[in-house]
């Protein structure tokens, strides 16, 4: 058996601490409950795109299999043809692969088991534990009773086995209309657990299925199907979310009634994240109402959105490891996700310089037509990343925010009369400012000290700031997209009367900056390449380009920024 920390190669070794799910698995291995076998599965319904909450479940299931020398299947729970689509199947496969998990040849579909499920249904009828019911959906609801009152038995409950088998077959053969009949489990209408009150096993749905087409017009319900799927695949630990805890008795009941392999269902709490909505229904709403550009909008918590935003699989996996797993609802601070992100990106992202809100900087004492190439380090945390050349000349762009005419005490960037370093280049001293009619700064004039080439002063003189810059003549134009929280509230569902979560959408969640300059080394970057723009943040090349063919950089996350923090604190005062 492999200990979890031995797969933990991106963190310092830690003591072997099992979460409660792994504890159960470890105990089962110790006691030989499953013959030393560990087999999990990730069972998504293909009715939407995967999000970071699914990543938690994926990492749990695939992670446990990997750590305990077991297997994990990918199985699509495609029992409702009215909601499911091939597009979702494809995206889910892509996303899980991208996260780095492998199900080898074990890609399964619940729809592959429809024949066998039907046979199991017949078997249950024969055992007198299922019957065909003619009650409408509404009547079924009435008969079910309420949370505090027992239900009453359907009048069709006592049909003979023969009649039930015949009717069930007719259901299958399409002799009834949608909703006309159902197959129900004959369970206990007085059960305190409402799920046990003769739950529907099959409903009639004359709908084309994305895989089985028109082959079926009856489709199994989750409660009936899910346990069978797990059983058929020989799953040992059927890990699911908390809301299925109430369904476990039924899960157990079906499998015991059939005398077939009976996995253990274990429930854990879903992931909640601040400033994020996680339900597929709400994400679908954002997409369908055009409130975002699509499932892969970089502001979405979908894996495809996060990928486009620039998240790395490692960051997400490490996040999932860090948050742990438990049985009570909690909301993870988005800052923890950002921490995991920066931790990985800092190690892996090459550095470059880009100016996203440019103002011209003219070095008056630098020769007119001269230019030179300066050495820059690609990644200070990774010497093997090497060096690159960055062009420099008389006219540069720097960040508008890096200059202040009347700097407050704590501002130690460029200001009139002040000297700063241009990264990897020279010390420059501000001598003058040129403004336009509106009073906006057009140019900042400086002189440079040629003895400081490379960025060090031979006389040991210190500067308080180092600015990033880009050569006006030799840089490339790019578009940069800055993202912020999609919602303004930590809990987006907290809305006023008559409003819903969309009322909390952040109007400033996307800012497009179209006049940005990137150093020429970035010219041949490709889709989804990640880079750190020094002093700005981590960015990722969007798969699309602007209409005029310039690259688009999505800001994944800012660098931690104590200056911005200080400014914010100032504003609050």
Chain positions 552 to 571 lying near RNA, rule: CB under 7 A, are 559-563, 565-566, 569
Sign for the pseudo-dihedral over CA of 275, 281, 285, 286: positive
Shortest separation between residue 222's beta carbon and RNA, angstroms: 3
- Out of 9, 31, 148, 288, point to the residue binding RNA (CB under 7 A): 148
Q: Is 314 in the site for RNA (CB under 7 A)?
A: no
Q: 446 — phi, psi (to 5°)?
A: -140, 170
Quote the CA–CA distance of 68 and 568 in Å, as a whole number.
Answer: 48
Q: Is 521 in the site for RNA (CB under 7 A)?
A: no
Q: Is 534 in the site for RNA (CB under 7 A)?
A: yes
Shortest separation between residue 545's beta carbon and RNA, angstroms: 26
Give, as ranges, the residues between 360 and 419 that touch RNA (CB under 7 A).
379-381, 410-413
Q: Is 532 in the site for RNA (CB under 7 A)?
A: yes
Contact present, 255 and 235 (Cβ < 8 Å): no
Give, as ranges, the residues between 210 and 269 that touch RNA (CB under 7 A).
219-223, 225-226, 242-247, 269
- Out of 351, 388, 394, 530, point to the residue binding RNA (CB under 7 A): 351
Q: Judged by CB, which is closer to RNA: 121, or 297?
A: 121
CB atoms within 10 A of CB 311: 27
Q: Judged by CB, which is closer to RNA: 44, or 305?
A: 44
Catalytic residue among 33, 106, 157, 270: 270
Q: Judged by CB, which is closer to RNA: 223, or 230?
A: 223
Q: Judged by CB, which is closer to RNA: 113, or 244?
A: 244
How many angstroms separate the Cα of 61 from the Cα of each of 42, 133, 238, 544? 6, 37, 9, 34
Q: Judged by CB, which is closer to RNA: 278, or 545?
A: 278
- Out of 3, 126, 127, 141, point to the residue binding RNA (CB under 7 A): 141
Task: Label each residue of 515-569 as H, E or C.
Answer: EEEECHHHCCCCCCCEEEECCCEEEEEEEEECCCCCEEEEEEEECCCHHHHHHHH
Q: Is 270 a catalytic residue?
A: yes
Give, as ranges, the residues between 19 and 48 that touch RNA (CB under 7 A).
19-20, 23, 45
Q: Is 494 in the site for RNA (CB under 7 A)?
A: no
Give, as ranges, the residues between 431 and 470 that touch RNA (CB under 7 A).
454-456, 465-466, 468
Give, as ranges, the residues between 269 and 288 that touch RNA (CB under 7 A).
269
Quote the CA–CA distance of 3 and 507 in Å, as a whole number.
Answer: 46
Quote the CA–CA distance of 465 and 398 in Å, as a whole number.
Answer: 13
Quote the CA–CA distance of 74 and 44 in Å, as a whole number.
Answer: 8
Q: Judged by CB, which is closer to RNA: 346, or 477?
A: 346
User: By CB under 7 A, which span of 89-97, 122-130, 153-161, 197-205 interacts with RNA?
Assistant: 197-205
Shortest separation between residue 417's beta carbon and RNA, angstroms: 16
Nearest to 204 by CA among 110, 82, 109: 82
Quote the CA–CA distance of 226 and 223 in Å, as a whole number.
Answer: 6
CB under 8 Å, gap of 24 or more: what pairs does 537-543 form?
538/310, 538/341, 538/342, 538/345, 538/349, 539/310, 539/354, 539/480, 540/308, 540/309, 540/310, 542/298, 542/308, 542/481, 543/308
Q: Judged by CB, which is closer to RNA: 335, or 437?
A: 335
Q: Is 177 in the site for RNA (CB under 7 A)?
A: no
Q: Judged by CB, which is closer to RNA: 140, or 521?
A: 140
Catalytic residue among 33, 37, 45, 83: 45
Q: Is 155 in the site for RNA (CB under 7 A)?
A: no
Task: Label each residue of 371-437 as H, E or C.
Answer: EEEEEEECCCCCHHHCEEEEEEECEEEEEHHHECCCCCCCCCCECCCCEEEECCCCEEEEEEEEECC
Nearest to 200 by CA among 141, 241, 114: 141
Shortest separation between residue 436's beta carbon and RNA, angstroms: 25
Shortest separation between residue 193's beta carbon and RNA, angstroms: 4
Shortest separation between residue 4's beta carbon and RNA, angstroms: 12
Q: Judged by CB, which is closer to RNA: 65, or 325?
A: 325
Q: Is 317 in the site for RNA (CB under 7 A)?
A: no
Shortest separation between residue 313's beta carbon and RNA, angstroms: 19
Q: Is 309 a catalytic residue?
A: no
Catalytic residue among 75, 280, 388, 555: 280
Shortest separation between residue 442's beta carbon and RNA, angstroms: 22
Quote the CA–CA distance of 57 and 74 in Å, as a whole number.
Answer: 12
Q: Is 175 in the site for RNA (CB under 7 A)?
A: no
Locate the DSSP E strands across 261-332: 264-268, 272-273, 331-332
- Out of 35, 328, 438, 440, point to the residue binding RNA (CB under 7 A): 328
How many residues bind to RNA according to rule CB under 7 A? 91
Shortest separation between residue 568's beta carbon and RNA, angstroms: 9
Query: Is residue 35 helix, strand or coil?
Result: coil
Q: Which residues contact 252 (CB under 8 A, 6 or more apart)?
A: 227, 262, 265
- Out of 1, 107, 192, 434, point to the residue binding RNA (CB under 7 A): 192
Sign for the pseudo-dihedral over CA of 202, 207, 209, 210: negative
Quote the CA–CA distance of 518 and 353 in Å, as a whole number.
Answer: 6
Quote the CA–CA distance of 200 and 223 in Å, as a whole number.
Answer: 8
Q: 34 — phi, psi (to 5°)?
A: -110, 25
Q: Is 87 a catalytic residue?
A: no
Shortest separation between residue 546's beta carbon and RNA, angstroms: 26
Contact present, 18 and 26 (Cβ < 8 Å): yes
Q: Judged by CB, which is closer to RNA: 189, or 293?
A: 189
User: Catalytic residue positions?
Assistant: 45, 270, 280
């Amino acid at each position: 058996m492999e200990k979890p920390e031995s797969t933990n190669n991106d963190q310092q070794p830690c003591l072997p601490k099992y979460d409660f799910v792994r504890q159960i698995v470890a105990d089962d291995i110790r006691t030989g409950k499953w013959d030393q076998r560990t087999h999990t599965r990730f069972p998504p319904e293909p009715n939407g795109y995967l999000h970071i909450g699914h990543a938690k479940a994926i990492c749990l299931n695939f992670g446990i299999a990997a750590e305990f020398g077991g297997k994990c299947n990918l199985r699509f729970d495609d029992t409702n043809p009215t909601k499911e689509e091939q597009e979702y199947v494809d995206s889910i496969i892509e996303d899980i692969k991208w996260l780095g998990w492998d199900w080898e040849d074990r890609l399964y579909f619940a729809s592959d088991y429809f024949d066998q499920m039907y046979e199991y249904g017949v078997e249950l009828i024969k055992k007198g534990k299922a019957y065909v019911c003619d009650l409408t959906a509404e009547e079924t609801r009435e008969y079910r009773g309420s949370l505090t009152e027992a239900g009453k038995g359907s009048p069709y409950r006592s049909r003979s086995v023969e009649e039930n088998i015949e009717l069930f077959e007719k259901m299958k053969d399409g002799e009834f209309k949608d909703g006309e009949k159902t197959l129900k489990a004959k369970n206990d209408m007085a059960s305190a657990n409402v799920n046990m009150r003769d739950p529907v096993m099959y409903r009639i749905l004359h709908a084309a299925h994305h895989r089985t087409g028109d082959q079926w017009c009856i489709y199994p319900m989750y409660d009936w199907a899910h346990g069978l799927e797990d059983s058929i695949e020989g799953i040992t630990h059927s890990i699911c979310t908390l809301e299925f805890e109430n369904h476990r008795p039924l899960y157990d009941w079906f499998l015991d009634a059939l005398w077939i392999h009976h996995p253990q269902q274990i429930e854990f709490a879903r992931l909640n994240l601040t400033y994020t909505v996680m339900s597929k229904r709400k994400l679908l709403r954002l997409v369908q109402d055009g409130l975002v550009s699509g499932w892969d909008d970089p502001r979405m918590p979908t894996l495809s959105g996060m990928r486009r935003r620039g998240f790395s699989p490692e960051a997400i996996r490490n996040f999932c490891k860090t948050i742990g797993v438990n049985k009570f609802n909690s909301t993870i601070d988005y800052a923890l996700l950002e921490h995991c992100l920066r931790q990985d990106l800092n190690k892996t992202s090459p550095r470059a310089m880009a100016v996203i809100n440019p103002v011209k900087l003219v070095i008056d004492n630098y020769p007119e037509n001269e230019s030179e190439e300066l050495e820059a380090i690609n990644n200070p945390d990774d010497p093997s990343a090497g060096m690159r050349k960055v062009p420099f000349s008389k006219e540069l762009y720097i960040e508008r925010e890096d200059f202040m005419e009347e700097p407050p005490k704590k501002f130690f960037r460029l200001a009139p009369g002040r000297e700063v370093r241009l990264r990897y280049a020279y010390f420059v001293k501000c001598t003058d400012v040129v403004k336009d009619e509106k009073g906006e700064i057009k140019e900042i004039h400086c002189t440079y000290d040629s003895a400081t080439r490379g960025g060090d002063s031979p006389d040991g003189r210190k500067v308080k700031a180092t600015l990033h810059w880009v050569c006006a003549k030799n840089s490339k134009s790019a578009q940069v997209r800055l993202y912020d929280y999609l919602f303004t509230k930590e809990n987006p569902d907290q809305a006023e009367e008559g409003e819903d979560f969309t009322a909390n959408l952040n109007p400033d969640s996307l800012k497009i900056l179209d006049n940005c300059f990137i150093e020429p080394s970035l010219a041949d970057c490709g889709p989804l390449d990640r880079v750190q723009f020094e002093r700005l943040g981590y960015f990722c090349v969007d798969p699309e380009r602007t209409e005029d063919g310039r690259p688009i950089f999505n800001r994944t996350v800012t660098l931690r920024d104590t200056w911005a923090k200080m400014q914010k604190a100032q504003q609050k005062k």
